[in-house]
């Protein structure tokens, strides 16, 4: 049984690293770490050396997802488990770990071919992260669309020990969305999976301090002609207030606040939720059709 600390970092592919780095620094309010170069940039939303890596590519979207495990022992156990299950984990070499400021790490592919990285710890920065004017607290979650939802949910639940918080269902009862948390991390979802026609990153999300940050962010984005494509609103499943917007490549980002938390022992059972707009947004706002449209997954 694998135990996790958190969703650690997302590696994105972007068409213009400098442009995207400036956007995530100046508009999303992340902290630039080190110099920006043509091929790569790092940004942080915590004391971690980084929580976002930007890589140059002609196909904007997801490169990989990194999860920090609870300890080095858990990292070792996870490596052996995935090796036993036939997922061929490969350790990250010393040179790349030095670039990422990570102690131990390995990578593997899920049943859809998505690259995941499990690591034991990352270098911590001495200077406190002080986000402003939008008070970003942490990298919160990532959501993927996959062509084989049932197999994907089974893999994350039964092999990787992600817990199901809630599911959403079509009128005929078929599940089309699963909210999952990397146990024993308490937050309602650090990972979401939706049924889709193809493999795609739907969005990544950052947690903010309170609703004032969402209001401040909305006005800043609109005033600078950044597309706000859904919200502000409130999700029924997690109870969180949300707002979605687009980055320069059209990738979907979310600010989220006030998400439900689960105890490690005796959590409530997952709920079967319907497919209505009110379940998506208790305030019943409409979303822009551009939401989740751009998000190529590197496989």
CATH of the domain at 175: 3.10.180.10
Per the CB < 8 A criterion, the answer to whether 63 and 54 are in contact is no
Residue 279: its H or E element: helix 277-280
Whether 141 and 61 share a structural domain = no
- The pLDDT score that the predictor gives to residue 10 is 99
Per the CB < 8 A criterion, the answer to whether 201 and 137 are in contact is no
Domain boundary among 85, 119, 153: 119
Domain boundary among 66, 85, 119: 119
- Print the domain residue range for 271: 136-297
- The pLDDT score that the predictor gives to residue 127 is 86
88: nearest Cα among 105, 106, 71, 70: 106
pTM for the full predicted model: 0.97
99-114 pLDDT, tens digit each? 999 999 999 999 999 9
- The pLDDT score that the predictor gives to residue 236 is 98
CA distance 102 to 105: 7
- The pLDDT score that the predictor gives to residue 276 is 97
Residue 221: partners with Cβ closer than 8 Å, 6 or more residues away: 27, 227, 228, 245
- The pLDDT score that the predictor gives to residue 100 is 99
In a domain, 127, yes or no: no
Whether 265 and 154 share a structural domain = yes
In a domain, 189, yes or no: yes
| Largest interatomic CA distance in the chain | 53
Which residue in the block uniquely carries the two structure tokens 């909305």?
A: 218
**10-residue mean pLDDT series, the chain (299 residues):** 98 99 98 97 98 99 99 99 98 98 99 99 93 97 98 98 99 98 99 98 99 98 98 98 99 98 98 98 98 99
Whether 147 and 292 share a structural domain = yes
Distances (CA, A) of 136 to 89, 181, 287, 288: 33, 20, 23, 24
In a domain, 158, yes or no: yes
In a domain, 128, yes or no: no
147: nearest Cα among 216, 195, 78, 180: 195
Whether 10 and 88 share a structural domain = yes
How many domains, in total, are found in the chain?
A: 2
């Amino acid at each position: 049984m694998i135990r996790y600390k958190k969703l650690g970092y997302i590696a994105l592919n972007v068409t213009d690293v400098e442009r995207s780095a400036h956007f995530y620094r100046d508009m999303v309010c992340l902290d630039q770490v080190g110099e920006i170069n043509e091929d790569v940039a790092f940004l942080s939303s915590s004391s971690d050396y980084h929580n976002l890596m930007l890589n140059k590519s002609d196909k904007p979207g997801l490169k990989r997802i990194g999860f920090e495990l609870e300890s080095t022992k858990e990292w070792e156990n996870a490596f052996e488990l995935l090796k036993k299950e036939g997922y061929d984990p490969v350790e990250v070499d010393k040179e790349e770990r030095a670039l990422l400021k990570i102690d131990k790490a390995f990578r593997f592919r899920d049943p859809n071919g998505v690259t995941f990285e499990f690591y034991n710890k990352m270098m911590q920065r001495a200077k406190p992260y002080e986000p402003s004017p939008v008070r970003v607290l942490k990298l919160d979650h990532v959501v993927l669309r996959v062509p084989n939802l049932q197999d994907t949910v089974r893999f994350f639940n039964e092999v990787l020990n992600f817990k199901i918080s809630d599911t959403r269902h079509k009128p005929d009862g078929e599940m089309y969305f699963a909210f999952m948390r990397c146990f024993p991390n308490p937050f309602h979802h650090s990972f979401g999976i939706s049924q889709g026609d193809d493999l795609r990153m739907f969005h990544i999300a950052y947690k903010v301090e309170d609703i004032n940050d969402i209001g401040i962010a909305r006005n800043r984005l609109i005033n600078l002609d950044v597309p706000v494509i859904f919200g502000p609103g409130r999700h029924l499943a997690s109870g969180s207030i949300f707002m979605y917007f687009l980055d320069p490549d059209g990738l979907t980002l979310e600010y989220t606040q006030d998400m439900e938390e689960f105890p490690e022992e005796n959590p409530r059972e997952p709920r079967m939720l319907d497919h209505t707009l009110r379940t998506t947004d208790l305030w019943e706002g409409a979303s822009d059709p551009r939401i989740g449209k751009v998000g190529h997954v590197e496989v």
